Amino acid sequence: METSHILRTENLTKSFGSGAATVRAVNDVSLNVGEGEIIVIMGPSGSGKTTLLSMMGGLMRPTSGAVFIRDVDISGMSESELPGIRARHIGFIFQAFNLLEALTVEENVLLPAQLAPGGVKGARERTAQLLAKLDLTARRNAYPRTLSGGEKQRVAIARALINRAPLVLADEPTGNLDSQKGTEVSMILHDVARDEGCSVVIVSHDPRVEDIADRVLWLEDGRIRDRRSEDHSWVRDPVCGMRVDEWTAVNRFEHENRRYVFCSRRCLERFEESPEIYVSAEAATRGARGS
């Protein structure tokens, strides 16, 4: 049976700089994303994950190679054509949520519908459904500044889905959330792919996201590589106790000559506020284990 691909990249390469100073952020990456498939792209900081995601989303032009969305090559499209592709075919979810502060939850979700054939009017019912599904109905008239991180990310997910985009690109969607909210958002993304039938590409450091992936790809030095299990170095987040890959974690903090890593920026911030609480709690846990 022939697999239907929503997204396809062929020998995708992106170089920055010139001459001897040329850096290949993404190097000859070819991959396919099938309908309804969830792909998680992991890799150390600076491995080219976000650059790859940007090219997939038509936000950055590749140096060479091509990106196909439903077999249409978007890498050669003009600047005036790309916004239309993004509006109709791609939903974006960001680490920083990127909601518009002046608009309510409902208005944020409805905003991209202006670019869809049915317009804002035609999308009101779907907005209500999405808000209900993501447990945001009671917050529909709230402004982003009054929302928690988890709520903001759920609004961003609803916004990414409003135009029934076949492809959702998520950049560190759990990066600014604590352990519980991060898991919740991961599960929502999983359910979204299942219920909406859309493909989801997630770039993340968060090992919790691996649990929902159909495939996990490892990007290193701009190339997709096989990832061996020994590439993990699991440690505990001292704030929430979650398992974190020390090798890939981006949220790090040095305290009393010791390095701590965190599952999210939120946990890091909590630790920075009063590290002694968590250090002593961790020491107590270690002591209990030792005895």
Site residues (vs another protein, CB under 8 A): 50, 53-54, 57, 59-60, 79-80, 83-88, 90, 92, 94-96, 98-103, 107, 110-115, 120, 159, 171-172, 175-176
Tell whether the torsion through CA atoms of 15, 16, 18 and 21 is positive or negative. negative
Nearer to another protein, 38 or 60 (CB): 60
Backbone angles phi, psi at 153, to 5 degrees: -70, -30
The distance of closest approach from Cβ of residue 255 to another protein in the complex, given in angstroms and rounded to an integer, is 23
Tell me the one-letter amino acid at 180.
Q
**CA angle, residues 169, 171, 112, in degrees to nearest 5:** 50
Angle between helices 149-161 and 124-133 (to 10 degrees): 140
CA-to-CA dists, residue 256 to 79, 253, 259, 262, angstroms: 51, 10, 8, 16
The distance of closest approach from Cβ of residue 112 to another protein in the complex, given in angstroms and rounded to an integer, is 5
The distance of closest approach from Cβ of residue 280 to another protein in the complex, given in angstroms and rounded to an integer, is 31
Nearer to another protein, 12 or 60 (CB): 60
The distance of closest approach from Cβ of residue 163 to another protein in the complex, given in angstroms and rounded to an integer, is 8
Nearer to another protein, 39 or 53 (CB): 53
Nearer to another protein, 109 or 193 (CB): 109
The distance of closest approach from Cβ of residue 95 to another protein in the complex, given in angstroms and rounded to an integer, is 5
Nearer to another protein, 80 or 257 (CB): 80
The distance of closest approach from Cβ of residue 64 to another protein in the complex, given in angstroms and rounded to an integer, is 18
Closest CA to 85 of 115, 123, 41, 130: 115
Tell me the one-letter amino acid at 268.
L
Using the 8-state DSSP alphabet, how is residue 196 labeled?
H
The distance of closest approach from Cβ of residue 84 to another protein in the complex, given in angstroms and rounded to an integer, is 7
The strands making up 64-69's β-sheet, listed across from edge to edge, are 23-34, 5-16, 64-69, 72-73
The distance of closest approach from Cβ of residue 175 to another protein in the complex, given in angstroms and rounded to an integer, is 7
Nearer to another protein, 96 or 284 (CB): 96
What are all long-range contacts of 16-25, with beta carbons under 8 Å and residues at least 24 apart? 24/222, 25/51, 25/222
Taking the C-alpha atoms of residue 18 and residue 236, their distance in angstroms, rounded to an integer, is 42
Using the 8-state DSSP alphabet, how is residue 232 labeled?
-
Backbone angles phi, psi at 144, to 5 degrees: -50, -35
Nearer to another protein, 251 or 278 (CB): 251
Nearer to another protein, 86 or 154 (CB): 86
| Six token digits for residue 126 | 């779907």
